[in-house]
Chain A
């Protein structure tokens, strides 16, 4: 009886959690529906009821209470997902240690960041609010939905999305810790050993707790090991509960981390940026690692000098689950255009190109059962475009999250900020660098606007 009450109580708590975020019903009528998983359907309706896609078909009836949207002549696609972003964050880097697995960007969400609205105006409904790349093992990240309008940071969280953590290879951790603080890593050799040490310590910690749990059953005087949140996180990675998202550029370091992960039995691995991923595409495919790349960024630092804009195409054609990310408050607004570049550079098909910003990032974030395609039962996250979304002339018209219209070009007003301070004028900054934040929070001396 007690147990039943507990269950009921827990159910209420969960219901409470889910009920926090607003859900709605929308009937999108007569659009060209790009499902991603089931082809393109002309003159087709998509019905979202209470936040979930319930029907896809022709001439559906609008249920009472649903908002009807005429999409005649327009293109309806799944809400775009960005697997690497730093919008909606009050802080990005906890750059004080080579390993900071204990911190979590979910603690510093900023629902009033106007970048969220601007991302919506680019058809983006979800993003991966990542820790920065200062540390070899950075903080845990938060997968968010762009529920702009709320003042509650928790409302942004995509409840149920798997936990993720930021790792970083190469120049950034070497610069911050080796050059800056004179501690390992100063080289890519050192970066490897940071991982091996942290995983070994995490393994020992996990084993100590397992031994304690076992002993506790028969020995009431058993003493638990010291609780350590950093080590808890490392143990959770080893258990497969956390997906690693690793900032990386060079082929050698990409191979190194795969070797380390193999040695510790870690399988859930996605590489971020991964500019030289194309060089080791067969190895990435064999491991089952994902690659989340820029469409065409290169040459902004030495480790991306030997890059190619054909990266996404090579990775895709080699069977690597690939996405295109923004890492920028600017680029997040036109990921559809970035995806289009894979047609110039490598001739991907429309569906291959659009998968890079929908289903594939969803797979990389472990949320593909809920978002990333237009399918019955999935979340009602939709972007509507004036033309085919891969066309340069396509303009996002409406963006829907959980059945709630969060962006409508017809209702867009100039100032969409939520935190307007009437006492200050919003003057233009001359060197506006809000869009690149991967190294934000690293000391002034190391100040770098690049990634």
Chain B
């Protein structure tokens, strides 16, 4: 009898547990009109508003006091709750890597040094288990980027909702570039200083050549428009570089060492590209130069060790704040895949170590939005903007704060993820040890 009942319980548990483990299936999203009432609304750009926020058809259509709910709108009481704009992570591999050590689940790093035509968006897996895990933490929108080589491909801004990469695409793409460096790669890097310098110069030459070839390629392409007999070889790299060389498309330049940052700034000036510096771990050493060059920065992770043994222990924590204080436009990133949900904690650490809280909040909302030319669409709570937001019971930088609702592009996101499902299943496991 005991045996049969155990089997029966196991059967029941199995019945409910099996779908729970297909954990990217977290439920239906819901779109419609929502009226969030009596909230503390942190608009980011227009201060704090006590009142109501109305979402219709994916947009914010009202912020104010005593807004009447339109017919059919779902009314959510937000007394003692806060509404923040969805956080934006300025650099991740979310959707591109599923399991860190399993190469066949890694789609960020293609073969080749100069492959700017590789498009991260095409390899974004909308069903990555990490996506629901991330968005229930209030991070709604991320730049996901390819890695490796000099030009690893194009990064894309994606919303963490949707079943196809195109649905997720959030309106910004940029070519990524790893700026050459003469620095040592690590303890295992056996190249002499001279060899490292040679490697750096070789790469810089490759870049200069690429610029010249792209200009020529663009000219030939123009000529071909007028004269179809002009021969134009298939060259996806040069094709992809045309908008960058023309200054129409942004170039995300990954650079971290102080000397390399200065050399990148000179290079940017010379080539007149639309540049955003990324990484910038040693930005605090040359913050005035970055500010003077007026090149914006996406820096992070904030929670990291200093880049040199001789550095003060808190340099990585303080870097964003020090650059901001010097007048640099600073956005933040986690540079992570599975723990992009930590973004607000990175902002919190930046504040603890000197960054103004408003600046840190902007660094994961409106600042990256503006850098990407999307300042009028995302990154703050304003009427007319995309309804990507979340509701929480306190300061979202604090780990004790709970997030109760996330809306992305007007979609009410199920507050579920593999991590939450495993918690629900195993907190009071049945059968337990003696059942």
Question: Given A333-B305, A346-B423, A428-B282, are A281 and B400 neighbors across the interface (CB < 8 Å)?
Answer: no
Contact A300 B183 (CB under 8 A): no
Closest B residue by C-beta to A429: B186
Contact A434 B305 (CB under 8 A): yes
Chain B residues lying within 8 Å of A147, measured Cβ to Cβ, are: none
Q: Does B79 contact A (CB under 8 A)?
A: no
Give Cα A330 to B306, complex, Å. 9
Contact A433 B308 (CB under 8 A): no
In chain A, positions 323-353 with a C-beta closer than 8 Å to chain B are: 329-330, 333-334, 337, 340-341, 343-347
Question: Given A121-B314, A296-B342, are A426 and B309 neighbors across the interface (CB < 8 Å)?
Answer: yes
Q: Does B224 contact A (CB under 8 A)?
A: no
Contact B422 A427 (CB under 8 A): no
Give Cα A450 to B309, complex, Å. 21
Q: How far is the CB of A421 from chain B (nearest CB, A)?
A: 10
Q: How far is the CB of A355 from chain B (nearest CB, A)?
A: 16
Contact B313 A412 (CB under 8 A): yes
Chain B residues lying within 8 Å of A278, measured Cβ to Cβ, are: 422-423, 426
Q: How far is the CB of A299 from chain B (nearest CB, A)?
A: 4
Query: Which of A298, A314, A427 makes the CB contact (< 8 A) with B427?
Result: A314
Number of A-B contacts (CB under 8 A): 174
Chain A residues lying within 8 Å of B181, measured Cβ to Cβ, are: 430
Give Cα A435 to B316, complex, Å. 14
Q: Does A302 contact B (CB under 8 A)?
A: yes
Query: Which of A301, A337, A426 makes the CB contact (< 8 A) with B102?
Result: A301
In chain A, positions 415-438 with a C-beta closer than 8 Å to chain B are: 415-417, 420, 426-435
Contact A282 B432 (CB under 8 A): yes
Q: Does B311 contact A (CB under 8 A)?
A: yes
In chain A, positions 99-119 with a C-beta closer than 8 Å to chain B are: 114, 117-118
Instruction: Identify which of B28-36, B93-101, B162-170, B371-379 touches chain A.
Output: B93-101
Chain B residues lying within 8 Å of A302, measured Cβ to Cβ, are: 99, 101-102
**Number of residues from A at the complex interface, CB < 8 A:** 68
Q: Does A305 contact B (CB under 8 A)?
A: yes
Question: Given A118-B313, A317-B427, A429-B184, are A300 and B100 neighbors across the interface (CB < 8 Å)?
Answer: yes
Q: Does B397 contact A (CB under 8 A)?
A: yes
Chain A residues lying within 8 Å of B303, measured Cβ to Cβ, are: 330, 334, 337
Contact B282 A426 (CB under 8 A): no
Contact A118 B256 (CB under 8 A): no
Contact B426 A314 (CB under 8 A): yes
Q: Binary interface profile of A, 274-295, with partner B (CB < 8 Å = 1, else 0)?
A: 0000110111011000000000
Give Cα A305 to B130, complex, Å. 10
Contact A428 B183 (CB under 8 A): yes
Contact A306 B419 (CB under 8 A): no
Chain A residues lying within 8 Å of B258, measured Cβ to Cβ, are: 428
Contact A430 B185 (CB under 8 A): yes
Q: How far is the CB of A227 from chain B (nearest CB, A)?
A: 37
Contact A417 B309 (CB under 8 A): yes
Contact A427 B98 (CB under 8 A): no
Chain A residues lying within 8 Å of B48, measured Cβ to Cβ, are: none
Contact B423 A313 (CB under 8 A): yes
Contact A298 B187 (CB under 8 A): no
Contact A301 B100 (CB under 8 A): yes
Contact B433 A283 (CB under 8 A): yes
Give Cα A333 to B317, complex, Å. 11
Q: Does B223 contact A (CB under 8 A)?
A: no
Q: Binary interface profile of A, 139-173, with partner B (CB < 8 Å = 1, else 0)?
A: 00000000000000000000000000000000100
Q: Binary interface profile of A, 342-379, with partner B (CB < 8 Å = 1, else 0)?
A: 01111100000000000000000000000000000000
Instruction: Identify which of B81-89, B150-158, B320-328, B346-354 touches chain A.
Output: B346-354
Q: Binary interface profile of B, 128-140, with partner A (CB < 8 Å = 1, else 0)?
A: 0110000001000
Query: Which of B21, B99, B186, B313 makes the CB contact (< 8 A) with A430?
Result: B186
Contact A395 B352 (CB under 8 A): yes
Give Cα A448 to B100, complex, Å. 11
Instruction: Identify which of A15-23, A46-54, A239-247, A385-393 touches chain B.
Output: A385-393
Q: Does B310 contact A (CB under 8 A)?
A: yes
Give Cα A201 to B50, complex, Å. 72
Q: Does B339 contact A (CB under 8 A)?
A: yes
Contact A344 B399 (CB under 8 A): yes
Give Cα A340 to B344, complex, Å. 13
Give Cα A200 to B130, complex, Å. 43
Q: Does A8 contact B (CB under 8 A)?
A: no
Contact A428 B349 (CB under 8 A): no
Contact B312 A431 (CB under 8 A): no
Closest B residue by C-beta to A341: B399
Q: Does B304 contact A (CB under 8 A)?
A: yes
Contact B305 A308 (CB under 8 A): no
Contact A392 B186 (CB under 8 A): no
Contact A299 B309 (CB under 8 A): no
Q: How far is the CB of B248 from chain A (nearest CB, A)?
A: 30
25 contacts between A and B (CB under 8 A): A114-B309, A171-B101, A281-B426, A282-B434, A296-B341, A299-B99, A299-B338, A301-B99, A302-B99, A306-B418, A308-B423, A337-B349, A337-B399, A344-B402, A391-B398, A392-B395, A393-B351, A416-B313, A420-B310, A426-B309, A427-B184, A427-B308, A430-B185, A431-B185, A450-B100
Besides A171-B101, A300-B99, A428-B256, 8 more A-B contacts (Cβ < 8 Å) are A296-B341, A301-B99, A305-B98, A313-B423, A318-B429, A344-B400, A392-B349, A427-B183
Residues of A within 8 A of B (CB): 114, 117-118, 121, 171, 278-279, 281-283, 285-286, 296-302, 305-310, 313-314, 317-318, 329-330, 333-334, 337, 340-341, 343-347, 390-395, 412-417, 420, 426-435, 444, 447-448, 450
Residues of B within 8 A of A (CB): 21, 98-102, 129-130, 137, 181, 183-189, 256-258, 281-282, 303-305, 307-314, 337-339, 341-342, 345, 348-349, 351-353, 395, 397-402, 418-420, 422-423, 426-427, 429, 432-434
